Copies of this chain bind each other. A is one copy, B any other.
């Protein structure tokens, strides 16, 4: 259970506030995460790690001398938005450039990619790499498709040590890539975890059983067995990793025996006493093993073993001193900022929303966008519980909450844009950017990008007619398809969006009135969304428990269809 929170939707932000207060000598809170309290020296390569909340001490607990320069933290088990990644990177960046590191999950890769592009476009040299250490998630020949789990700790540590040692960005990126290639992890779980605000776990493991190869968001495992003794578990973990050892591995390994949250340190030490014996009996030299909670999964009961094969370069970087809130090694001396009282009273939220004050006569088409978004927000608030239920079947039950948060932010941004006289296109761009920034996750970034792309297609159109609106929808569809790398039939929002676009095109070609066309296209989208229940998902690395969704409609398709109907332009908002 996760029991201690105020507003579940604010869990991540509340956590960061308390964390930054408790560890003010190490970190400073910024929009989207934390950066070191003491700025890096000019020209230092900056290493930013990140992902969803729920994995403490990953990611914010690993910021400090010898480790990360900043951490981006999204909502629980949800990718941070591109805007959050960009915000943290900008707060930490020097002229030396930025290395962004995350696990390999669809939401993370899209958002970090967009941030990387934005930073590069702004002259900040940025490289983005993902960690792919989970041997259970893809076969060896598809190493690059594997999920990133606790091995990220090793990759982050090694890259950050190189950066703190003065290596330039390209060198730090090479080291991180090399460390990732040498790192393997396998996890087991005895019981699931519960999201803040939920009363039932995200998944369960039958009593007395142990799932093998489960991901850190409850992604399905590859095997199940009876709960073994500690010694048997040690053998299982070590042997599965050695079966997956890199061909160029040496006889020295960095080792992380990682607790997921619901296992005691004392239990981990019992397991470690057997792991250590087994590794040494196999002739492996254990270098600076870490036993403890390093990459958790809320209160999931289980643990993982990571082996990272070391050469001289990696060993020196792994063993070097570090000093962060959750991890210290060697004699690193804390760069204390206590005397300065930095961060002393920072309990305010990172974002301050000022009231909207009209400064220009609003454009009537921009007003139509605001009104459409307002109807979308109302609709989503109505159906959010149902979306949550659909999402809980095979996901984290957060879809209703994420959509509502994104749409509400989009509406506020649109009101603001319209109030200063922006046209419909600019208003849509502002709405899309805000949606992506506030919602986070995969659906958040895709909705945001889709709206913004639609807005760009209308940027120079002062009086949009039906064809312009429909064309904007098609542009949005293409953008979502491009970024999300899914195709219709993969059980995603595209399965509702594609029939909508086809139907509205066909109706207009058949000379239907545009409102009739939109309405019939909405019918088609709703039918298609319902029919996604029959689809088998393309099981990707970012789809927790995706197989379980067979028989249940895709919540992303359902919400898209509902939003599409709500967004139908009013009669007076379409030019003849």
Contacts and interface: CB of A to CB of B under 8 A. Distances in A.
Contacts of A276: 18, 21-22, 347
B347 A3 contact: no
Interface stretch (A50-58, A391-399, A451-459, A501-509): A50-58
A270 interface: yes
A19 B291 CA distance: 9
A291 B20 CA distance: 11
Interface string A10-46: 0100111111011000000000000000000000000
Interface stretch (A172-180, A217-225, A258-266): A258-266
A483 interface: no
Contact of A18 (B1, B61, B190, B291): B291
A266 B22 contact: no
- For A196, A263, A270, A272, the residue with the greatest tally of chain B CB atoms inside 10 Å of its CB is A270
In the complex this chain forms, how many copies of it are found? 2
Given A191-B1, A231-B6, A331-B334, A17 B273 contact: yes
A227 interface: yes
Contacts of A352: none
A44 to B, nearest CB: 21
A567 to B, nearest CB: 36
Contact of A230 (B5, B16, B233, B331): B5
A227 B269 contact: no
A273 B190 contact: no
Contacts of A54: 264, 266
Given A229-B6, A270-B11, A264 B296 contact: yes
Interface residues of A, number: 60
A318 B327 CA distance: 20
A281 to B, nearest CB: 11
A271 B19 CA distance: 10
Contacts of A1: 190-191, 262, 301
Contacts of A6: 229-231, 270, 274
Contacts of A296: 264-265
A18 B262 CA distance: 19
A266 B299 contact: no
A167 interface: no
Nearest to A291: B22
A233 B14 CA distance: 15
Nearest to A232: B6
A347 B280 CA distance: 12
Contacts of A270: 4-6, 11, 14-15, 18
Main secondary structure of the interface of A (DSSP, over half): mixed
Nearest to A329: B334
Contacts of A56: 264-266, 269
B21 A272 contact: yes
A420 interface: no
Contacts of A269: 14-19, 22, 56
A535 B418 CA distance: 78
A520 interface: no
A239 interface: no
A287 to B, nearest CB: 10
A289 B332 CA distance: 21
Interface string A174-192: 0000000000000000110
A328 B334 CA distance: 11
A170 interface: no
A50 to B, nearest CB: 15
Contacts of A264: 2, 4, 54, 56, 261, 296, 298-299
Given A6-B230, A56-B265, 9 more contacts: A1-B191, A3-B227, A18-B268, A18-B276, A22-B276, A22-B289, A264-B296, A265-B296, A277-B347
6 contacts: A1-B301, A4-B264, A4-B270, A6-B230, A15-B266, A56-B269
